[in-house]
Chain A
Amino acid sequence: DAEITQSPRHKITETGRQVTLACHQTWNHNNMFWYRQDLGHGLRLIHYSYGVQDTNKGEVSDGYSVSRSNTEDLPLTLESAASSQTSVYFCASSGGTDLYEQYFGPGTRLTVT
């Protein structure tokens, strides 16, 4: 069965370190998204991609970067982790027969100390 996976599921890191969160989907979807989930804010879009070599900034992109070298993967990099980036991160993809339906990964809980 097709799926979307994230790794690691939990990560603790120190302020200033570079961190990369992985997202891999086997739906063969063109569109991929990264969100962060924080209490009182719901889900906020960090970056998104509509295809290979395409990346775009979302509403909370400062301090984050992505790259899309193939259809299956969209890794999210925190260049220099900050305590304000402690959050739960979700990856999603879309582009099947229902173009707008997004499929979400299980999430990565990141703690920056």
Chain B
Amino acid sequence: GDSVTQMEGPVTLSEEAFLTINCTYTATGYPSLFWYVQYPGEGLQLLLKATKADDKGSNKGFEATYRKETTSFHLEKGSVQVSDSAVYFCALTGTYKYIFGTGTRLKVLA
């Protein structure tokens, strides 16, 4: 069945460091891909998305490119801030149902 694999966390970075969180997927057909973010004590919020191969999603300085050839959707940010500390979830869907990865906790130190 469909699945999403994310890198294990936690990821700890200093402020202004470069961030990469790896995400790979297995799916039949052509799923849409998403990154959601969860701040402490809150529900998940959509961060960015891509609906077809080679699409790049971007928001708040974060980017991810839908790579069909490597079945990947890695999340990147050039310069992280303390306020980016959160849990990040990669997800896919080909219908209305989502398949989520296990989440990657990011901690950014001042």
Q: Are B43 and A105 in contact (CB under 8 A)?
A: yes
Flag the segment in B12-20, B62-70, B77-85, B100-108 that touches A. B100-108
Kindly list 15 other residue pairs between chains A and B, CB separation below 8 angstroms, not including A48-B96, A106-B43: A40-B102, A42-B100, A42-B101, A43-B89, A58-B97, A90-B43, A90-B44, A92-B43, A95-B96, A100-B32, A100-B49, A100-B93, A101-B49, A102-B98, A104-B45
The 6 closest A-B pairs by CB, nearest first: A104-B43, A42-B102, A43-B100, A104-B44, A42-B100, A31-B96
Q: Can you name the residue of chain B whose Cβ is closest to the Cβ of A43? A: B100
B interface residues, tally (CB under 8 Å): 18
- Partner-B contacts on A (CB < 8 A): 31, 33, 35, 40-45, 48, 50, 58, 90, 92, 94-95, 99-102, 104-107
Complex Cα spacing A107 to B39, Å: 12
Closest chain B CB from A99 CB (angstroms): 7
**Assembly CA distance A107 to B42 (angstroms):** 7
A102, B96: Cα distance in complex, Å: 9
Could you tell me which B residues sit within 8 Å of A by CB distance?
32, 34, 41-46, 49, 89, 93, 96-98, 100-103
Interface centre among A58, A90, A104 (most CB of B within 10 A): A104
A94/B102 in contact, CB under 8 A: no
For residue A105, which residues in chain B have a CB less than 8 angstroms away from its CB? Answer: 43
Question: When chains A and B are docked, how far (Å) is the Cα of A106 from the Cα of B103?
Answer: 17
Chain B residues with CB below 8 A from A33, complex form? 97-98
Q: Within 8 Å CB of B43, what residues of A? A: 90, 92, 104-107
A and B contact pairs by CB, cutoff 8 A, 13 listed: A33-B97, A41-B102, A42-B101, A43-B100, A44-B100, A48-B96, A50-B96, A92-B43, A100-B49, A101-B34, A101-B46, A101-B49, A104-B44
CA distance A70 to B95 in the complex (A): 22
Given A50-B96, A100-B32: A42 and B103 within 8 A (CB)?
Answer: yes
B65 CB, nearest partner CB in chain A, Å: 18
